[in-house]
């Protein structure tokens, strides 16, 4: 599986303040980005997989809402996470 507990700990350590800080906006955005990239690759191979397409759109919406929240509360953290994850905006 692409999303193991070691991968999650690495993401939370890098983008959150620690491996146990799983609820910060940056760590959640990083996790959503990893999942979005994985599902995007899956959709390139399986164009008619509409359940995955719906899940992908839901994840993009969740990430968008978190990014909007971060933009409204802490603009410097928002800019840093966009630059770090190379998200277009």
Instruction: Note whether 38 and 2 are within 8 A (CB).
Output: yes
- For the entire predicted model, the pTM comes to 0.92
pLDDT in the model for residue 77: 94
CB atoms within 10 A of CB 18: 11
What would the mean pLDDT of 35-44 be, rounded to a whole number?
A: 97
CB atoms within 10 A of CB 67: 18
Which CATH number is correct for 30-89, 1.10.287.10, 1.20.140.10, 1.10.600.10, 3.60.150.10? 1.10.287.10
Closest of 72, 67, 68 to residue 84, by C-alpha = 67
Q: How far apart are CA 66 and CA 82, in angstroms?
A: 12
**In this predicted model, what pLDDT tens digit does every residue of 4-25 receive, in sequence order?**
999 999 999 999 888 888 889 9
Closest of 70, 8, 51, 1 to residue 33, by C-alpha = 8
What would the mean pLDDT of 45-67 be, rounded to a whole number?
A: 97
What would the mean pLDDT of 47-64 be, rounded to a whole number?
A: 97
Q: What is the mean pLDDT of the chain?
A: 93
């Amino acid at each position: 599986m692409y999303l193991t507990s070691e991968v999650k700990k690495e993401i939370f350590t890098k983008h959150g303040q620690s491996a146990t800080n799983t609820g910060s906006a940056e760590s959640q955005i990083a996790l959503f980005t990893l999942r979005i990239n994985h599902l995007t690759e899956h959709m390139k191979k399986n164009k008619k997989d509409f359940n995955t397409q719906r899940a992908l759109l839901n994840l993009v919406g969740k990430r968008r809402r978190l990014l909007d929240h971060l933009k409204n509360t802490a603009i410097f953290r928002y800019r840093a996470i966009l630059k770090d994850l190379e998200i277009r905006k």
